[in-house]
Structure 1
Amino acid sequence: MFDKAGLSDAAHYPYELGWIFVEERFRRMGMAGALTTCLVHGLEEWPVYASSRTNNKGMHKALVNAGFRQVGQHYPGRRTGEEFQVFLKPAG
Protein backbone atom coordinates (compact mmCIF):
# COMPACT_ATOMS: atom_id res chain seq x y z
CA MET A 1 0.00 0.00 0.00
CA PHE A 2 2.74 2.48 0.87
CA ASP A 3 4.56 1.71 -2.37
CA LYS A 4 1.37 2.07 -4.41
CA ALA A 5 0.76 5.48 -2.82
CA GLY A 6 4.32 6.60 -3.58
CA LEU A 7 5.39 6.60 0.08
CA SER A 8 8.65 5.23 1.43
CA ASP A 9 8.14 5.41 5.20
CA ALA A 10 6.16 2.20 5.82
CA ALA A 11 8.66 1.00 8.43
CA HIS A 12 7.89 4.08 10.53
CA TYR A 13 4.18 3.18 10.71
CA PRO A 14 3.86 -0.35 12.12
CA TYR A 15 0.27 0.09 13.36
CA GLU A 16 -2.85 0.23 11.20
CA LEU A 17 -6.28 1.54 11.98
CA GLY A 18 -8.22 -1.11 10.08
CA TRP A 19 -11.57 -0.89 8.40
CA ILE A 20 -14.37 0.92 10.15
CA PHE A 21 -17.81 0.09 8.86
CA VAL A 22 -20.97 1.88 9.92
CA GLU A 23 -24.24 0.35 8.81
CA GLU A 24 -26.01 2.63 6.36
CA ARG A 25 -28.96 3.48 8.63
CA PHE A 26 -26.51 4.80 11.26
CA ARG A 27 -24.39 6.92 8.92
CA ARG A 28 -24.16 10.72 9.16
CA MET A 29 -24.56 10.51 12.93
CA GLY A 30 -20.88 10.95 13.81
CA MET A 31 -20.32 7.28 14.58
CA ALA A 32 -17.24 6.88 12.36
CA GLY A 33 -15.67 9.87 14.08
CA ALA A 34 -16.51 8.56 17.55
CA LEU A 35 -15.15 5.10 16.73
CA THR A 36 -11.98 6.53 15.20
CA THR A 37 -11.36 8.79 18.20
CA CYS A 38 -11.91 5.90 20.64
CA LEU A 39 -9.62 3.58 18.70
CA VAL A 40 -6.69 6.01 18.56
CA HIS A 41 -7.16 7.35 22.10
CA GLY A 42 -4.08 6.44 24.08
CA LEU A 43 -1.99 5.78 20.97
CA GLU A 44 -0.33 9.18 20.96
CA GLU A 45 3.08 7.56 21.44
CA TRP A 46 2.76 5.31 18.40
CA PRO A 47 2.54 6.15 14.70
CA VAL A 48 -0.58 4.78 13.01
CA TYR A 49 -1.68 4.58 9.38
CA ALA A 50 -5.06 4.10 7.78
CA SER A 51 -6.49 3.96 4.30
CA SER A 52 -9.88 4.90 2.96
CA ARG A 53 -11.65 4.86 -0.37
CA THR A 54 -11.21 8.19 -2.08
CA ASN A 55 -14.97 8.70 -2.27
CA ASN A 56 -15.52 8.17 1.48
CA LYS A 57 -15.37 11.82 2.54
CA GLY A 58 -17.02 11.09 5.90
CA MET A 59 -14.18 8.75 6.87
CA HIS A 60 -11.61 11.26 5.64
CA LYS A 61 -13.14 13.86 7.96
CA ALA A 62 -13.12 11.39 10.88
CA LEU A 63 -9.45 10.54 10.29
CA VAL A 64 -8.35 14.18 10.00
CA ASN A 65 -10.30 15.08 13.15
CA ALA A 66 -8.49 12.24 14.97
CA GLY A 67 -5.07 13.63 14.01
CA PHE A 68 -4.36 11.85 10.73
CA ARG A 69 -3.17 13.66 7.63
CA GLN A 70 -3.78 12.68 4.03
CA VAL A 71 -0.53 11.73 2.26
CA GLY A 72 0.73 10.23 -0.97
CA GLN A 73 -1.09 9.53 -4.18
CA HIS A 74 -4.39 7.74 -4.69
CA TYR A 75 -3.81 4.10 -5.54
CA PRO A 76 -6.08 1.53 -7.19
CA GLY A 77 -7.97 -1.04 -5.17
CA ARG A 78 -8.67 -4.62 -6.21
CA ARG A 79 -12.04 -3.76 -7.73
CA THR A 80 -12.31 -1.88 -11.00
CA GLY A 81 -12.67 1.85 -10.47
CA GLU A 82 -11.91 1.69 -6.75
CA GLU A 83 -9.21 4.04 -5.42
CA PHE A 84 -7.73 4.51 -1.96
CA GLN A 85 -5.94 7.23 -0.04
CA VAL A 86 -3.40 6.78 2.78
CA PHE A 87 -3.62 8.72 6.04
CA LEU A 88 -0.86 8.93 8.65
CA LYS A 89 -0.93 9.87 12.33
CA PRO A 90 2.61 10.45 13.54
CA ALA A 91 3.72 9.64 17.08
CA GLY A 92 3.59 12.42 19.62
Structure 2
Amino acid sequence: MEIISKPPRDCSNTELETFERLVSAGGEVLLAGLRQRIRNAERLIFINDGECVAVGAIKNPNAAYKASIFKKSNASEQSKYQYELGWFYVSSIARGKGYGRALMEETKKLLAGTACFATTRENNAPMHHLFIQFGFSRLGQPYKSDNDDYSLNLYVTS
Protein backbone atom coordinates (compact mmCIF):
# COMPACT_ATOMS: atom_id res chain seq x y z
CA MET A 1 0.00 0.00 0.00
CA GLU A 2 1.31 3.43 -0.98
CA ILE A 3 -0.16 6.62 0.51
CA ILE A 4 0.36 9.85 -1.41
CA SER A 5 -0.68 13.20 0.01
CA LYS A 6 -0.17 16.51 -1.74
CA PRO A 7 -1.80 19.82 -2.60
CA PRO A 8 -3.96 19.71 -5.74
CA ARG A 9 -1.62 22.14 -7.52
CA ASP A 10 1.09 19.44 -7.33
CA CYS A 11 -1.16 16.74 -8.83
CA SER A 12 -0.98 15.67 -12.45
CA ASN A 13 -4.10 15.84 -14.62
CA THR A 14 -4.27 12.05 -14.43
CA GLU A 15 -4.24 12.16 -10.61
CA LEU A 16 -6.96 14.83 -10.57
CA GLU A 17 -9.08 12.80 -12.99
CA THR A 18 -8.62 9.65 -10.90
CA PHE A 19 -9.57 11.52 -7.73
CA GLU A 20 -12.66 13.00 -9.37
CA ARG A 21 -13.69 9.63 -10.85
CA LEU A 22 -13.50 7.87 -7.47
CA VAL A 23 -15.32 10.68 -5.64
CA SER A 24 -18.03 10.62 -8.31
CA ALA A 25 -18.36 6.84 -7.95
CA GLY A 26 -19.34 7.39 -4.33
CA GLY A 27 -22.51 9.08 -5.56
CA GLU A 28 -22.82 11.46 -2.62
CA VAL A 29 -21.46 14.73 -3.95
CA LEU A 30 -22.83 17.41 -6.19
CA LEU A 31 -20.95 16.88 -9.46
CA ALA A 32 -21.41 20.42 -10.79
CA GLY A 33 -18.20 22.29 -10.01
CA LEU A 34 -16.53 19.26 -8.42
CA ARG A 35 -13.25 19.69 -10.32
CA GLN A 36 -12.89 23.28 -9.08
CA ARG A 37 -13.72 22.27 -5.50
CA ILE A 38 -11.06 19.55 -5.73
CA ARG A 39 -8.54 22.13 -6.96
CA ASN A 40 -9.42 24.35 -3.97
CA ALA A 41 -8.72 21.60 -1.41
CA GLU A 42 -5.82 21.88 1.00
CA ARG A 43 -4.58 18.31 0.45
CA LEU A 44 -5.62 15.29 -1.59
CA ILE A 45 -4.84 11.81 -0.37
CA PHE A 46 -4.47 8.80 -2.65
CA ILE A 47 -4.02 5.18 -1.62
CA ASN A 48 -2.51 3.00 -4.28
CA ASP A 49 -2.38 -0.77 -4.19
CA GLY A 50 -1.57 -1.69 -7.76
CA GLU A 51 -3.97 1.09 -8.74
CA CYS A 52 -5.66 3.91 -6.86
CA VAL A 53 -8.17 2.21 -4.55
CA ALA A 54 -9.06 5.02 -2.12
CA VAL A 55 -9.09 8.80 -1.89
CA GLY A 56 -9.82 11.49 0.66
CA ALA A 57 -9.21 15.18 1.19
CA ILE A 58 -8.67 17.98 3.61
CA LYS A 59 -10.94 20.61 2.14
CA ASN A 60 -11.02 24.40 2.43
CA PRO A 61 -14.76 24.97 2.80
CA ASN A 62 -16.12 28.32 1.75
CA ALA A 63 -17.79 30.38 4.48
CA ALA A 64 -21.35 30.15 3.11
CA TYR A 65 -21.18 26.35 2.78
CA LYS A 66 -19.77 25.93 6.29
CA ALA A 67 -22.41 28.27 7.75
CA SER A 68 -25.12 26.25 6.00
CA ILE A 69 -23.87 22.92 7.40
CA PHE A 70 -23.70 24.22 10.96
CA LYS A 71 -27.09 25.94 10.69
CA LYS A 72 -28.83 22.85 9.28
CA SER A 73 -27.38 20.69 12.05
CA ASN A 74 -28.27 23.26 14.77
CA ALA A 75 -24.62 23.45 15.81
CA SER A 76 -22.65 26.51 16.82
CA GLU A 77 -19.03 27.66 16.92
CA GLN A 78 -18.42 27.04 13.22
CA SER A 79 -15.53 29.51 13.28
CA LYS A 80 -13.47 27.02 15.33
CA TYR A 81 -13.21 24.63 12.39
CA GLN A 82 -10.83 25.66 9.64
CA TYR A 83 -10.94 22.54 7.47
CA GLU A 84 -13.44 19.94 6.36
CA LEU A 85 -12.61 16.29 5.83
CA GLY A 86 -14.33 14.88 2.84
CA TRP A 87 -14.48 12.92 -0.34
CA PHE A 88 -13.40 9.77 1.51
CA TYR A 89 -14.07 6.90 -0.83
CA VAL A 90 -12.78 3.34 -0.98
CA SER A 91 -13.54 1.51 -4.22
CA SER A 92 -16.03 -1.31 -3.81
CA ILE A 93 -13.45 -4.00 -4.67
CA ALA A 94 -11.06 -2.70 -1.98
CA ARG A 95 -13.41 -2.43 1.00
CA GLY A 96 -12.70 -4.25 4.24
CA LYS A 97 -8.92 -4.07 3.81
CA GLY A 98 -8.13 -1.14 6.11
CA TYR A 99 -7.94 1.60 3.49
CA GLY A 100 -10.50 3.76 5.30
CA ARG A 101 -8.42 3.53 8.46
CA ALA A 102 -5.28 4.40 6.48
CA LEU A 103 -7.05 7.49 5.07
CA MET A 104 -8.02 8.60 8.59
CA GLU A 105 -4.52 8.00 9.97
CA GLU A 106 -2.95 10.05 7.19
CA THR A 107 -5.52 12.81 7.58
CA LYS A 108 -5.05 13.07 11.34
CA LYS A 109 -1.27 13.18 10.87
CA LEU A 110 -1.61 16.00 8.33
CA LEU A 111 -4.03 17.97 10.52
CA ALA A 112 -1.69 17.79 13.53
CA GLY A 113 -4.41 18.89 15.96
CA THR A 114 -6.06 21.50 13.71
CA ALA A 115 -9.81 21.70 14.29
CA CYS A 116 -11.95 20.37 11.46
CA PHE A 117 -15.41 19.06 10.68
CA ALA A 118 -16.87 16.36 8.48
CA THR A 119 -20.27 15.07 7.47
CA THR A 120 -21.41 11.57 6.71
CA ARG A 121 -24.65 9.77 6.05
CA GLU A 122 -26.62 9.04 9.19
CA ASN A 123 -26.62 5.32 8.27
CA ASN A 124 -22.87 5.03 7.46
CA ALA A 125 -21.89 3.02 10.55
CA PRO A 126 -18.32 2.23 9.38
CA MET A 127 -17.53 5.93 8.94
CA HIS A 128 -19.14 6.83 12.30
CA HIS A 129 -16.93 4.19 13.92
CA LEU A 130 -13.79 5.61 12.27
CA PHE A 131 -14.63 9.16 13.28
CA ILE A 132 -15.10 8.16 16.92
CA GLN A 133 -11.90 6.07 16.94
CA PHE A 134 -9.96 9.06 15.63
CA GLY A 135 -11.27 11.56 18.20
CA PHE A 136 -14.26 13.08 16.43
CA SER A 137 -17.53 13.83 18.22
CA ARG A 138 -20.96 14.14 16.74
CA LEU A 139 -22.29 17.69 16.96
CA GLY A 140 -25.83 18.97 16.55
CA GLN A 141 -28.73 17.13 14.96
CA PRO A 142 -28.99 15.02 11.80
CA TYR A 143 -30.20 17.02 8.81
CA LYS A 144 -31.55 16.20 5.36
CA SER A 145 -29.04 16.15 2.51
CA ASP A 146 -29.56 18.53 -0.39
CA ASN A 147 -28.39 15.79 -2.79
CA ASP A 148 -30.88 13.02 -2.08
CA ASP A 149 -33.35 11.55 0.38
CA TYR A 150 -31.02 10.77 3.29
CA SER A 151 -29.81 12.51 6.43
CA LEU A 152 -26.31 13.57 7.39
CA ASN A 153 -24.49 13.86 10.71
CA LEU A 154 -21.90 16.50 11.53
CA TYR A 155 -18.67 15.40 13.25
CA VAL A 156 -15.97 17.68 14.67
CA THR A 157 -12.52 17.39 16.21
CA SER A 158 -10.19 19.98 17.69
Instruction: Compute the TM-score of the two structures, normalised by the length of structure 1.
Output: 0.88
Picking from 49, 60, 63, the partner of 2:117 is 49
Structure 2 partner of 1:64: 132
The answer to whether residue 103 in structure 2 is matched with residue 35 in structure 1 is yes
Runs of 4+ in structure 1 displaced over 2 angstroms? 42-45
Choose between structure 1 and 2 for higher RCO, CA contacts under 8 A separated by at least 6 residues: 1
Q: Identity percentage over the alignment?
A: 29
1:52-91 CA distances to partner (integer Å, 9 max, x unpaired)? Answer: 111111111111111111111001102342110011111x
Instruction: Name the structure with the higher strand share.
Output: 2
Q: Does 1:88 align with 2:88?
A: no
Aligned residue pairs, count: 90
Unmatched 5+ stretches in structure 2: 1-68
**Counterpart Cα distance in 1 of 2:127 and 2:103:** 11
**Secondary structure in 2 matching 1:46:** coil
**Structure 2-normalised TM-score?**
0.53
Unaligned runs of 5+ in 1: none
For 2:90, the equivalent position in structure 1 comes to 22
**Higher helix proportion (structure 1 or 2):** 2
Q: Does 1:5 align with 2:73?
A: yes
Structure 2 distance, partners of 1:56, 1:82, is 11
